[in-house]
Structure 1
Amino acid sequence: MTAATLSPLPEDKQPLVARLIDGLEAPTLLWLSGYLAGVAGQRQLPGRSSAAEPAAPTEAQAKLTVLYGSQTGNAKRLAEDIGRRASAAGLAVRIVRADAYATRELKQERLLYVVISTQGDGEPPDDSRALVEFLAGARAPSLEALRYAVLGLGDSSYPNFCAVGRQLDERLAALGAQRLFAAGEADVDLETVARPWTEQALQQAREQLKTSAPLAKVTPLRTARSTPAWHREQPFPAQLLLNQRITGRGSDRDVRHLEFSLDGSGLHYAPGDALGVWPSQSPALVEAVLSTLQLDGDTSVRAGNEEHALRTWLTEHRELTQLTRPFFAAHAERSGDAQLREFLLPTARETLAALFSRWQVLDLLRRHPADWTAETLVAALRPLAPRLYSIASSQSVVGDEVHLTVSHVDYALDGNARWGAASRYLAHRAESENVPVFIEANERFRLPQDDRDIIMIGAGTGVAPYRAFVQERAERGAEGRNWLVFGNPHFHSDFLYQVEWQQALKSGQLHRLDLAFSRDQATKTYVQHRLIEQGRRLYEWLESGAHLYVCGDANRMARDVHKALVAIVAEQGARTTEDAEAWLSQLIQQGRYARDVY
C-alpha cells in the first residue's frame, strides 16, 4: 500500500496541492496550515450532529496573527521567530508582511502582534506605509474585540526613536483594542529588548488562546528549508580577495570595491540582498576612550553571561562611533552638566540631532567630563551591531564570491580624527584576511520576475545593487530595458564603476545612463534634477509597467527623489499632488517602487 492510498486527499487533488505549496517558505506554510485548520473546523464532518458539538471558533478567534513591517529584514526575522515558536507550542499562527495584509480583516482579528521598524526621521518602512495611513485615517474600524502588543525597532541615535511603533501602539488603543502589555522599543542591539518581549508575547498567546477548541495537529506539507549554517549570530569568516579604492586621487571620498570569498560556506544571495559585516573598533579609538576616562583596559568586567577585559569589551562588543540618546542621558546625569540636560528637552530636538550627526562617544567624554567605572561604562554603552551593505554582485555571475561598495567614513572634527566603525574596519583589512559576514535577505528590493523595464536611481555607494541588477539581467538574457540615473560630486574622480557602465552601454546591457555630478558646475545638479529633465520619458516607462528603484541616503537623496517623482507624476499624468502621491503608493504596494535607503 502506497503513501498516496493512505492519504484522505483524493488522488486527482494531490497535484493541485503540490503546485500550491511549491516554493513556499516555512512562515507561509505555517500560515497556510493554520488557515486550513480553521476552515476544517468550520465544516461539519459527516455523521456529526451540529447540535451535539459546540460551535467551532472562527479562524480569527483561534489564531495569532503576527504582522510585520521591515526595511532591512530585522522585523521580518523577529516576526518569523515568534511564528515558529508559537507554532511549536501548538498555536495556530500566521505571519503577514504589512503590505500583504488585508485591512478589512482587522475587525475579525482577536490576537495581533505587530513588529515594526522606524526609518530615518520617524518614518514607517516602505512595506508599511499604507497600513500606517489606514490606521491613522477615518476608515480604521472600532477594535474592541482585539487584544494586541507592539514591538518597535529603531535606532536611538535618531531623535524619533521607535516613533512608528509608538504611533501604532497608541492608535490601536484609541480604536478600542486592549493592550496586553507595554510596547517594546528595541535599539540596534535588538535582542536586549526583543528576547524578553518575545517570551512575554508567547506566554500571553498561550493564555489568550487556551479557551479555544483543541487545535488540529498539523503535518508539514513539505520539509521546511533549514536554517543556514552561517547567519547573523554565527557569521562566516570570509576571506578578503580584493580591497581596491575606486575614487580618483582628487576625490575627497575614499570609496572601496571589496571582494570576498564565500567558498565552502553554502551561502546564497539574490540581487538586492545585503551583506552583514561584524566589525571591531579601531585600537586607536579604544585607547583614546580608555585614556580620556583614565581606565585600565585590562580590568575584567562581567556583563550578563560574558566576562572580558575592558579593552575587549570596547573593541569587540560595544558601540563607540555612534552616540545614542540613552548613553547621552546617562552621561548627562553623571556629569551634572546643565547644558547636556538642556539638550535632552523636547524643544532641543533639532539641536540634539545635529550634535549626534557630528559627535561620537569620545567627543562627549572629552567635552563634558564625568566619572565612569569599567562596569558602568560597559553597561551604559550600546552593544556593537553588524553593519549591512547592499551587495554589488550577482552570484550567478561571480559564483562563490560577494562584492561590496563601501565609502570609508574618515574625517576630522576640531582637528581630531574620526571614522566609521565598519567602514574603517573594512578599509584597513588586508587581502587574505578573514571578515565575519552573513547574508541579510531583502525581499522588498528584488528584480521583476519577468522582463519588464527597470529604472535604477542612486547616488554615491547607492549604485552598488544596480551593478548586481545589470549583471543578473545580462546573465539571464532579460529583454527588458535598464536605465541608470547616478549622481556623485565629480565626474573625473567620483564616477564609480565608470568603465563597467560604459561597457554595459556599448554592449546593450544598459540602455540609458543619466549622470548628475553636483560640483562640476556652478549650479549643483543632483539625481532628482535629472529625473525632472526626463520627466516625460520616466512617466512613459512607469505607465508601461517599469519597476523603479531608489538606493542611497534616506534623509536627503531619497526624500528629494520622491518629491521629484510626485511632481513628475502630477505634471505628466495631469493629477493633483495628492493623487500623484496615491499613484506612487500603489506602485509601492505592487512592488514596482522599491527603496533601499539608509
Structure 2
Amino acid sequence: MLAPSYIPEAKHKLLVELSDGLESNALSWLSGYFAGVAQGRQQSGRSAPPSIVAVADTQSARQLTIVYGSQTGNAKRIAESIAERTGALGLSTRLLRADRYPTRELKDEHLLYIVMSTQGEGEPPDDSLAFVEFLSSRRAPKLPQLKYAVLGLGDSSYPLFCGIAQNLDARLAELGAQRLHDLGTADLDIETVASPWQEATIALAQKALKQSEPAGASVIPLHPKATPVSRDQPFLAELLLNQPITGRDSNKDVRHLEISLEGSQLNYQPGDALGVWPTQSQVLVDAILATLNLDPDEPVEFNKVSRSLNEWLKHHRELTQLTKPFLVAQAELAQSDDLQALLQADSVEALRDFLGTRQVIDVLKTYPAKWTAPGLVKALRPLTPRMYSIASSQTAVDEEVHLTLANVEYEHQGESRWGVASRYLCELDEGDKLPIFIEENPRFRLPADASRDVIMIGPGTGIAPFRAFVQERSANGASGRNWLFFGNPNFASDFLYQTEWQRALQDGDLDRLDLAFSRDQTEKIYVQHKLLERATDLYEWIQGGAHLYVCGDATQMARDVHQALLRIAQDEGGLDEVQAKQWLDDLAAQGCYARDVY
C-alpha cells in the first residue's frame, strides 16, 4: 500500500508496523487517539500529543462503550457490527473485549452496551471472568449516571439459558444504572433476537448522544472483508479425505478430515475454528414425520419464507438437540403432567439431565401431541452451524483445512441417536461438497514471540488445535519449546495422530509428550494427573514465560485441569488459595493462559 502524499514514507512504515496484529478495539482506540492529537494541535498550536488519560476523559461523557465477552466469536461479531454501525452514524464509539476493559472507568461511563455469551451452566466466557467478578463484587461502584443495555447469547438446551447476561443485567440495575433497553436473550438462532435488539439499541444510542458535541473520530471498519465468504454466505468446499484415526477396538469413531479451500480465498490462523452448516439425516426427518403423521410435501410459510415441511426439517431446524422452549410447547400441547412437573420443579439438575439425554423424536414419541406443520416449524429452533477447532496450519498445508472429528452416535431405548453435524460429515464421501466458513479466535493464538515455550493440554479431539500449533511452529522455525499433554481411553486404539507426534519428537518439533490413557490400568489416569506428576517442571516453564493452552470438554476436563493448576501454584509456588487464583487470572489477562473449551 502506497503512503498518501501528506504522510512521509518513513512515518507510513511506522504506522503499518504499529497497526500490524492489533485487535479491532486497539485500532479503534488509535483512531480516536490520533483524532485527539489533531484536535489538540489545532486548538493550542503545540506539537506535543495529549495524554492518554485526557483523551479518555474528554470522550467519557459523550461516547458509547461496547464491551463484549465471547467464547466462540458470535458475541464479538455482534458487538463489532454495532460498533461499525454507530461509528458510521458519527457516534463516538469504543469497542472493548471484556478482559481489556479498564474497570476503574466504569464509574464515569454514561452509555454502556454489553454483549455477552454464556458457556456451560450459566458461566461467563473465559475472556470475561475478571470483568464479571468485578461487577459482582463489593468493589463495583454505584452507577446512577449510567444508561445500559445487555444482550446475552446462549443455548436453550441448557437450563440456565443466558444466565450470565441475566445476572449482569440485574446487577447493573442493582448498582443504580438505568436500563435503556430490555435484556436480549438470543438462542443459537442468534439473529432472531440479536437483529431487532441491535436496531433498537442503535436508535437509542443516537437519541442518547444527540445533544453531544460532534465526535472527534468515529469507529473505522473493524474487519474489512477480502472475500464474501461468511457465516451467512458459506463456501462450498470439496472434501479431500475422510479417514478414521481410531482403531477397530476403540469405543470411539474419530475421523481426520481434509477439506480443500481452493477458490475460496479463505485464510485462517492456528487457533481459529471452521464453521460447518450440517444437513439433518433423512432417516431422522422421516421418523419425525411418521410419528406426527405429517405430509413431507406440505408447504409451510414462516417469516415470509415458504418451503416444504421436509425442507424445513432437513436443512433449517434443530432435531438432535432438545431445548427448553420446545419442551414447554410440547408439555402444553400434549397436556402432560409429567412434563409440566419437570419444568416447574426447582431441580435444575433434573432438567439438565432430561435435555441432555433425549432428542426431539424421543419427546414426540413419549408424550404424544397433535402438531401441525406450521406449529412444528415455529416451535423448533433454527438449525445453526457447528464450530470445529482447526487441526492444521495453513502455512504447512496451503489451500486446505483439516478437522479432527468425533462421530457422536449412541443408543436410546434401543434406537440409534446421533449428532447432526458429526453424522453429516462422517457420511460424506471424498469429492462431496460441504458449506464452510472461518470463525476467528484471537484469544487462542500462539505467542507472537516465537522464542516463548508452549504448553498444550488437549485430551481427545481437544488435540486438534495443537496439531496446528506444532505444524505452525515447525514451519516458522520457532525456537521456543513445545510440551504436549494428551489423554484418551486406550493407547492401542485411541492414540490420535500417534505417528505424527512420534515424528515430531524425533525431529525436535515436540520437546515433551505426556500421555494419559485412562483405561489401560485399574486406576483411571487423566491429563490433570499428569500435570500434577510434572508439577515442578510445569511451574518452572510457566514462570519462565511459557504460554499455557487448554482445549476440550468444558464440563469436566477443563475444570479438573484448572483445579490442578491451582494446586500446582500452591505446592510449587508457595501461594495460598487466593494468590493461586490471582496467579492464574493474571496469566489469562496477559494472554499466557488460554482455553478453547466446549
TM-score bucket of the superposed structures, by smaller chain: over 0.9
Structure 2 SS opposite 1:58: helix
- Residue range with higher mean Cα deviation, 361-370 or 209-218: 209-218
Aligned to 2:49: none
Q: Which runs of structure 2 are paired with 1:446-457 in the superposition (5 Å)? A: 446-450=445-449, 451-457=451-457
- Please say if residues 184 and 194 of structure 2, whose CA atoms lie closer than 8 Å, have aligned partners that are also in contact: yes
* Counterpart in the other structure of 2:144: 144
Aligned equivalent of 2:594: 594
1:55-204 → structure 2 map (5 Å cutoff): 58-204=58-204
1:159 offset after TM fit, Å?
Answer: 1.3
Letter of the aligned partner of 2:249 in structure 1?
A: G
Letter in structure 1 aligned against 2:325: P
Letter in 2 for 1:465: P
Match of 2:532 in 1: 532
- Aligned pairs (5 A) from 1:421-570: 421-450=420-449, 451-570=451-570
Change in CA separation of 1:42 and 1:133 when aligned onto 2, cut-off 3 Å = farther
Q: CA deviation at 1:122?
A: 1.5
Change (3 A) 1:12 1:363: closer
Structure 1 pair 15–278 and aligned structure 2 pair: CA distance change class (3 A)? closer
Structure 1 residue 29: deviation in Å? Answer: 3.4
- CA separation in 2, counterparts of 1:270 and 1:67? 24
Give CA deviations for 1:286-322 in whole Å, capped at 9, x if unaligned. Answer: 0000001111110000111311000000000000000
How far, CA to CA, are the matches of 1:36 and 1:80 in structure 2?
A: 21
Structure 1 position 41, deviation (Å) = 6.0
Q: How does 1:268-279 map to 2 (within 5 A)?
A: 268-279=267-278
Q: Is the 8 A contact 2:65 2:111 kept in 1?
A: yes
- The structure-2 alpha-carbon separation of the partners of 1:315 and 1:12, relative to structure 1 and needing over 3 Å to count, comes to closer
The amino acid that maps onto 2:494 is D
Contact kept, 8 Å, 1:394 with 1:471, in 2: the verdict is yes
Cα drift, residue 556 of structure 1: 0.7
Percent same amino acid among aligned pairs? 58
Distance 2:247 2:581 in 1: 39
Return 209-218 or 293-302, whichever deviates more: 209-218
CA distance in 1, matches of 2:268, 2:301: 37
**Pairing 1:361-376 to 2, within 5 Å after superposition:** 361-376=360-375
2:24 and 2:554 map into 1 onto residues whose CA distance is 32
The verdict on how the C-alpha distance between 1:292 and 1:578 changes in structure 2, with shifts beyond 3 A counting, is: same
| 1:178-227 deviation digits (Å, cap 9, x = unpaired) | 1101110011110000000000110000000000012346696x996335
The one-letter amino acid of 1:352's match is: L
* DSSP-derived class of the 1:271 partner: coil
State the partner residue of 1:242: 241
* Superposed CA offset, 1:232-290 (max 9, x none): 00011110000001110001110000000000110000000000000000000000000
- Going from structure 1 to structure 2, the CA distance change for 1:486 and 1:14 (only over 3 Å counts) comes to closer
Distance in 1 (alpha carbons) for counterparts of 2:525 and 2:21? 45
Partner amino acid, structure 1, of 2:162: C
**Matched residue type, 1:551:** C
Q: Secondary structure at the match of 2:332?
A: helix
Native 8 Å contact 1:153 1:162 kept in 2:
yes
Can you list the C-alpha shifts for 1:369-420, whole angstroms capped at 9, x where unaligned? 1111000000010000000000000000000000000000011111000000
Indicate conservation of the 8 Å contact 1:405/1:461, yes or no: yes
Give, in whole Å, the separation in 1 of the partners of 2:363 and 2:207. 46
1:303 aligns with 2:315: no
Name the structure 1 match of 2:43. Answer: 45
Instruction: After TM superposition, give the deviation of residue 21 of structure 1 in Å.
Output: 3.6
The unaligned stretches of length 5 or more in structure 1 are 48-55
1:331 aligned to 2:341? no
Compute the TM-score of the two structures, normalised by the length of structure 1. Answer: 0.94
Structure 1, 278-287 or 27-36: larger mean CA deviation: 27-36
- Deviates most, 100-109 or 31-40: 31-40
Task: Tell me: CA distance 1:349–1:217, structure 2 relative to 1, closer, same or farther (3 Å).
Answer: closer
When the two chains are superposed, the root-mean-square deviation of aligned CA atoms in Å is 2.1
CA contact 1:38–1:59 (8 Å) conserved in 2: no
Name which of 11, 26, 29 aligns with 2:27: 29
Question: Hey, what's the Cα distance between the residues in 1 that align with 2:462 and 2:365?
Answer: 34
Determine the C-alpha separation between the residues in 1 that align with 2:37 and 2:144.
24
Would you say the 8 A contact 1:38–1:58 is kept in 2?
A: no
2:53 corresponds to: none
